[in-house]
Structure 1
Amino acid sequence: MFDTMTLTKAVGAGCGALLVFLLGSWAASGLYTFGEGHGEDVTQAYVIDTGASAAAEEPAAEAVPFPELVAAADAAAGHKVFAKCAACHKVDGSDATGPHLNGVVDRAVASVGGFAYSDAMVAHAAEAPTWTLEELGAFVENPKGHVPGTKMTFAGLPKEQDRANVVAYLASLQ
């Protein structure tokens, strides 16, 4: 059974393991931290230029109106970007998870017959009755932010050129 020597060995092994873990933690914190909490100023050994300071100094470029971006956009490139949309939307006149998008430019919002739009999208149709170029661009940028409560789960296209290309592609399907 358990005798005094066995108990002493078990407690010693536990204390030894704890000591190894504490010393390892102390050594690692000494290697990977510096100057924190000791009142010292921390200086970097080197600086990586990310261009953020140059970008901050440059004057902001004038925003180009979205319809002008669409006019100069590449519909072929938009067709490639549309592959992200094609998982839920078709352009052959039939509905899928989302309504069909052929003829969507200048079409009334929430107007595809037989498609069950969310209440939020139907309410949005009162605010913005037509899918203009600007409206499509704003919606495709952030669907849930533009129409809170929409069924559309797509996160959006943050790049303005991608949005312009997709809208140009959709406009070419009229």
Structure 2
Amino acid sequence: MFDTMTMTKVLGAFCGALLVYLLGAWVAETLYHTGGGHGDHAKAGYAIEVEVASTDDAAEEGPSLQELLASADLAKGAKVFGKCKACHKLEDGANATGPHLFSIVDRAVSAADGFGYSGALVAVADVWTAENLDGFLASPKGFAPGTKMGFSGLKKPADRANLIAYLQSQGG
């Protein structure tokens, strides 16, 4: 097998390699040190300060929902409704994946007969007012956490107003 001299050489080579590795790590840390110790989780880079607008200013920037509804374009609303057609019908009582939207504006929430609602909607609103529809269409999951509606929402306020006006025109 191995004699004592061979074992000493192998052990010496292993210790030497470990020493070279540790010294290399120490040199690299010294040369490329980014600050902070082991407990400090500081990130390398530059901090860029950005002025954050308050939510009050953001709400006042664009026209109000009432102004948007007053100037709503029904043709554009019908085009936006194309995104809804896969799950919703406009005919009274014609539920699909989602409830029918016939006379949805100012209708009681969860009032479509024969459709099983998740219950999340009833917890946040009683009636589908234009304001409630606007909030729901902007972010269904944000407006009614736990809703079954998988749609991500309409980001543009004008699209939401056009759609609400279109839905209102389709009522009985």
Normalising by structure 2, we get a TM-score of: 0.63
Q: Specify which of 157, 162, 167 is matched with residue 165 of structure 1.
A: 162
Partner in structure 1 of residue 101 of structure 2: 101
Q: Distance in 2 between matches of 1:135 and 1:169?
A: 16
Q: Distance in 2 between matches of 1:154 and 1:90?
A: 15
Q: Distance in 1 between matches of 2:135 and 2:73?
A: 18
Partner in structure 1 of residue 113 of structure 2: 113
Partner in structure 1 of residue 128 of structure 2: 131
AA aligned opposite 1:162 = D
SS at match of 1:84: coil
1:113 CA displacement:
1.2
Partner in structure 1 of residue 49 of structure 2: none
Partner in structure 2 of residue 67 of structure 1: 66
Once the two structures are superposed, residues 72-117 of structure 1 have per-residue CA deviations (whole angstroms, 9 ceiling, x without a partner) of 1101101001100011000012000000001000000111111100
1:70 CA displacement:
1.1
SS at match of 1:130: coil
AA aligned opposite 1:116 = G
Partner in structure 2 of residue 144 of structure 1: 141
1:62 CA displacement:
4.1
Q: Distance in 1 between matches of 2:99 and 2:162?
A: 20
Gapped regions of structure 2 (runs ≥ 5): 1-32, 34-52
Q: Distance in 1 between matches of 2:131 and 2:63?
A: 12
Q: How many residues align?
A: 120
Instruction: Name the Cα RMSD after superposition.
Output: 2.5
Q: Distance in 2 between matches of 1:71 and 1:104?
A: 18
SS at match of 1:157: coil
Partner in structure 2 of residue 87 of structure 1: 86
Gapped regions of structure 1 (runs ≥ 5): 1-36, 38-55
Q: Distance in 2 between matches of 1:62 and 1:119?
A: 34
